[in-house]
Structures are given as structure tokens and as C-alpha cells.
Amino acid sequence: MPAPNDFTIKLATANGTGSASANTLLTKAIFRMGVPVMGKNFFPSNIQGLPTWYEIRVTEDGHLTRSGEVHLMVAMNAETYARDLAEVTTGGFLLYDSSWPRPRELFREDIHVIGVPLAQMVNHTFVEARIRILMKNIAYVGALAAFLDLDLEVIEGLLKETFGDKKAKLVQANMQAVLLGYEYVKANYDCPLPISVKPTNKTAGHIVIDGNTTAALGCMFAGATVGAWYPITPSTSLMDAFKSFCEKHRRNEAGEREFVVIQAEDELSAIGMVVGAGWMGARAFTPTSGPGISLMGEFIGYAYYTEIPAVVFDVQRVGPSTGMPTRTQQCDLMTCAYASHGDTRHICLYPADPKEAFEMAVQSFDLAERFQTPVFVLLDLDIGMNEWMVPELTWDDTTLPDRGKVLNAMELEAMVERGQPFHRYADVDGDGIPYRTLPGVSPKGAFFTRGSGHAASAAYTEDAHEYQEVMDRLVRKFETAKTRVPDAVFHDHRGLKLEFDPDADITMMLPRSSKIGLVSVGSCDLAVREALDSLREQGVKIDYCRVRAFPFTDAVEAFLEGHEQILVVEQNRDAQLTKMLMMETRVDKAKLVPILHYNGLPLDAKFVEAAVQQHLAHDAVA
């Protein structure tokens, strides 16, 4: 049941009306009052006019995922009013703009309907038409502040942070609109509602931020100096943020830029620039989404075979084709893992939230250079564009980049003196990773790169044995990557996260207390963990593994082997993670039961819980 600090608000507006700013203000005000909060924006792919929704979950228990319910609907869009009315949970509340009468048929006896003449008040107070549209949204923030008992000083402080001292008039105008809604509600209704916000201190040590911003910050901290991209929703803001950070932090004493950001003519050009920069020794990346990955395929295969570092951020959206550009999915798992023609397998990282997006952005560059290969970081629109409450980001100033096996001039000279030839694609250490040189370091290095058939010496070949020798070494390199990618995160059936000593054999310490294991990936995590908490209260015991990287580690393999059944929760139609587990591990495929969510909305706990219950009930009957 909803209660103070435990309820969900949904705001129904139209795109292009400025509602995003109002909704973010509302979310941050709740956060500043010390209450954990989640905000999800469901917006159309046009510029203005189509329906948009914003969902806010207030959750003192820290369940920062969609609840699957709506306890307070703010219905500001006549076009979707009937749909929004139907979505309110029995006993809930609906706030609407009573400047105009509602149709008689749009009533429900089992909810509380609240009218506030927002447009009428704003039109009497502000003159310009565009300002009236914007301020109506700010006025409903004021109305909600009264109903939910929000601190007006917090709201005013956030406005001052947004506009700064130089725009004091904007702060004044916005607060005027806030007070219109606030004072009307205070004068006409009993406040607060049974659902309200009570100040706590449960947000200490946390921030509210989106994953594209944290990934961009990770790129800067990792030492990336080259970014090339072609704009595409939902990844464009990642490069925008990177450029903004670099403009502030990556200039020399003379004010000159020590970074390059290039908007290419298309995605194929963008990845080509990244590969070229990587060959020269720069840390380079490109952000894109599924359609961009499709176009990049040829250069991705080139970088894989020529063994050039590159980092690709795929902020996944709904496909196929153009699909729904502003909806979320995990539909590129296989596309990225096996990108390009021929036999290729790529290192992929799967962050679960913006904090991991920051951390894995840094790791991706180390892995790309250590293994001399493209590395994919797979966010999705939910992580990339929505604002999440996560622990504060941290950085160790002693961190040094892992540049991998790069020979300098002295090392090359020493090899020559020993009579040891430098072979670019030779497996000297038995780990599948060759040594490389950078252009301009020494005339004794091999500076050419060959995407056609080549031998270990980098010479052109069509010899069957020499070709296969290089391809087999690439397999060994991929196997070595299992020991360097981030391992999975494990929780036992009690919900306890298992912590391991870095030198321990994790495979011997994994949870096996339940016959059933559950595997998920990326942004599924919070919904899965909340569902497992609820199922645990019903006596259902399930161990949990969240995969964080491909190739799958030995610990993931051991988890699969240690359970009789494996439920696989993922956000795509074709069970891509399930199929990858079948292909890349020894698991009996009869064990794997996919639970698939792919309607474009972020996964919610009720969906996962219901799907697990349905599976268990089916098994009981069978």
C-alpha cells in the first residue's frame, strides 16, 4: 500500500512544453529532502506535440526501479486523459487542470480527483504565450509541493542553482509560478495527502545523474583524447558531455585544446576515425546506438583482425530498423558480441547503472589497449538518458592507464641486438596477445597494418596454415580476456551480495543453496533484485547472478552448472543473452528459461515477479 515516502507519481504532458525541466525539479527536490527517488522519462521521438510521461518513484526502502503502479497521476494532456485516468491504482489520486471542464464519462468512483486551475492562474499572471506554457508546468510543481509537503526552500535553492545569480529574474518568475500552485492548493484542499514526503537522510553519499554523463566523465578520466561520432538518439548527449568536460579540464596553460571531437558524416566514418586514432596510440571512442553499430560493421571487423584498440559505446534503443528511438531495450547483445562478417568475438561490458557506466568506461580503454581490440560498452536508453540515484563517483589519483604490450624504441633496439625479429602478430607470451609498436617510435618497428590475410610476421599471406595460426591465436586472446574482464555480481537466496577476495577461487564459493538460479544483465538488475526480495517473503529461494562482461567468466560457468534451473531475465524478444549462454558455455540448454521484456519501457519488478511465479506454477503442474 502507498504511504509517506513510498509511492509513485506519473506526470502526463506533451513533448516540447518544458515539462522535463519541471519534472527534474520535482525529482531533485525529493532527493534533496533525503528520500531515495527514481525518475524515468518516456518521451516521443518528435520535437514537439506528442504525448510524454515522466514517472517518479519515491522509495525510502531504496527500490529505485519502476513499481508497476501509479498512486498519483498528474494529467496535463487532454489527448491521453482517458488512458491516464485508467492507469491510477484504486484509492489513488488524479490531479488535472480544471481551467476547462472534464467530459462526464471521464470519471472514476474508486479514486480521488483533484482539480487545480493551472492554466487560468498562469494566464492571469504571465503575458507571453510561450512563458505561459512553461510556467503552467512549474505551477503544478507548486501544487504538488503543497500536496506532498515538499520544502519550498529546497525548490527555490534548486532554481538558483539552475539559473545562477545572473538570471535572478528567471528564479523570481519560476518561484512566482510555484507559489501560484502551492497557495491555491493550500487554500482549497487539506494538505498533505496520505502520500507525502517526510525528510530523511537516506540520500547521503549519493548523487542523481544519467549514464551518458558518467560514461563521458569516465572517458575523460581514462585519458581519451579523440572522440568521433555521428549524432543518434539516445547516445548524442554522451559526446556532448565529453566535449563539455574536456573544454573545462583538458586545455593546456596556453588555453589550447588537448583533445579532438569530430562530428563525422556518418557512423562508418566515425569508427574509421577512431580506429585510425587508436592505431596512432591515442585513446579514442565513438558513442552510437544499434543502427550505428550496423553501419560500423566493416571497420569493426578490420580493427578486430588488425588488432587495433577502439572503444564503442552502444546506448541501446528499440529496433529493428529505426524502431522506437526514444524507448529502451537490450537488443544489441549479439550484434555487438559478434559484430562484422567472418569469425569475430568482441569484449563487451554491461553496466547496470550510471556509476558502473563511469567505472566501465575507464576499464574499456584499458581492455582495448591490453587486448588490442574493439571493446563495446553496452548501456541502454534507460541508463543513458534517465537520471538515477547512485553512490558518489570516486577516483584514485594513483591510477595509471594499462597501455598493454607496446614496445618503445629501446626495447625494439634490444630485440635487434639479440637477433630477435619483431613479428607484429606473434604469440610471444602464450596468452594470445602480440606486441605492437606505434608509428614514429622507431624505424625497426612494423608500422603497416593489414586487414587482408596475414601471417604472424604481418606479411601478406594466402597460406592456409599461416592464416589459421593467426585466427587460432585470436581465440587464445579472447580466452585470456576472461581473466581480465569484470566478473559477475552474485547474490545468494537471502539477497546477500557475495564479496570475494581478489585472489580467491570464486568458482568454489558461489551460491548453490537453491535449485533455481537467475541470470540477468545491465539495467535489469534493480527490478530483478526487488522481485527476488518479494519472492523471498513468499518462501521462494533463488540465487542471482548479474553478468557484467563478455566473454563469460569461469564464475558464470560455475553458477550455471551449480543450479538445476536457470531463469534468464533480459530486455529483448529473441532471448539474446540466453542464446549467448548456450553458445559460449557448457550449460545444458534445457536448464535455461528466458524471461523476456521488450515493449520499450524500463523493466519493473512486478513483471519479473509475475513471470517467475508463472514459471514455478507451470513447473508444479508439470
Extended strands (E) in 346-446: 347-349, 374-380, 387-391
Beta-bridge partners for 377: 313, 349
Tell whether the model's pLDDT for residue 514 goes beyond 90: no
Per residue in 592-615, pLDDT tens? 999 999 999 999 999 999 999 999
pLDDT at 622: 59
Closest C-alpha to 225, from 185, 191, 252, 186: 252
Average pLDDT of the residues in 523-531: 98
- Would you give the distance in Å from CA 167 to the centre of its chain? 33
Q: Hey, what domains does the chain have and what are their CATH numbers?
A: 6-204 (3.40.920.10), 209-364+374-391 (3.40.50.970), 409-481 (no CATH), 489-621 (3.40.50.920)
Whether the pLDDT of residue 513 is over 80: the answer is: no
Whether 80 has a pLDDT exceeding 90, the answer reads yes
- Average pLDDT rounded to a whole number, residues 100-112: 85
Q: Which helix (H) or strand (E) holds 237?
A: helix 236-249
- Sign of the dihedral through C-alpha 357, 359, 361, 364: negative
Provide the b/e sequence for 561-592 (b: ≥16 CB within 10 Å): bbbebbbbbbbbeebbbbbbbbeebebeeebb
φ, ψ (nearest 5 deg) of residue 228: -130, 135
Place of cell 580506429: 275
pLDDT tens figures, 410-460: 999 998 889 888 899 999 999 999 999 999 888 877 666 889 999 999 999
User: pLDDT, tens digit, for every residue of 545-567?
Assistant: 999 999 999 999 999 999 999 99
Q: How far apart are CA 613 and CA 10, in angstroms?
A: 27
For the record, the C-alpha cell of 113 comes out as 480527483
Cell numbers linked to 456: 604472424
Dihedral Cα 478, 480, 484, 489, nearest 10 deg: 80
The pLDDT score that the predictor gives to residue 204 is 97
Distances (CA, A) of 26 to 22, 446, 466, 520, 540: 6, 58, 63, 31, 37
pLDDT band at 49 (very low <50, low <70, confident <90, very high): confident
- The answer, yes or no, to whether residue 16 has pLDDT greater than 90, is no
pLDDT of 305 > 90? The answer is yes
Mean pLDDT value of segment 250-258? 95
Average pLDDT over residues 72-100: 95
Please provide the average confidence, as pLDDT, over all residues in the chain.
94
For residues 336-349, average pLDDT:
97
**At how many degrees (to 10) do helices 118-125 and 129-148 cross?**
130
pLDDT digits (tens, 9 = 90+) for 568-590: 999 999 999 999 999 999 999 99
In a 3-state reduction of DSSP, which class is residue 410? helix
Q: pLDDT grade, residue 621 (50/70/90)? A: low
How much is the pLDDT for 446? 65
Task: Give the pLDDT confidence of 528-550 residue by residue, as tens digits.
Answer: 999 999 999 999 999 999 999 99
- How much is the pLDDT for 447? 67
**What is the model's pLDDT at position 45?**
84
| Mean per-residue pLDDT, 307-334 | 97
The pLDDT of residue 511 is above 90: no
